[in-house]
Amino acid sequence: MINEVIGWIGAALFAICALPQAVKTFKTKKADDLSWLFLLLWFFGEIFTFIYLIIDDLKLNTTHFPLYINYVFNTLIVVYLMYAKKHYKSKNVIKKIPVNKAA
């Protein structure tokens, strides 16, 4: 029983750890600082580990619902961040400062 509670707490914490970044990206519509390599490694890490978990659970005739929720939620977040990286326009605009030539 305590093991299950610890699993749910850990899965919830892992699932929400990327939420602040997703919210910030959504609000600012800026994803320039997100590395494509980071996003792709994160995405494929989630997918392959989730597949491994499902196959292992089928073999052992068990389920790890906290981990399922974690992997699904994190996969949705990383997919959104990849979408944002691809579609949000860069906001790196350099403002020109007028130069006083009389000086």
For the full predicted model, state whether its pTM sits above 0.85: no
Rounded-to-integer distance, Cα 99 and Cα 79, Å: 44
**Predicted pLDDT of residue 95:** 60
Q: Is the pLDDT of residue 24 over 80?
A: yes
pLDDT above 70 covers a percentage of the chain that reads: 88
**Predicted pLDDT of residue 3:** 84
The per-residue pLDDT for range 61-100, each reduced to its tens digit, is 999 888 898 899 999 999 999 999 999 977 655 566 666 7
Average confidence score pLDDT of the chain: 88
**Predicted pLDDT of residue 40:** 96
Domains of the chain: 2-87 (1.20.1280.290)
Q: What is the CA radius of gyration of the chain?
A: 20
What are residue 62's phi and psi, to 5 degrees? -140, 170
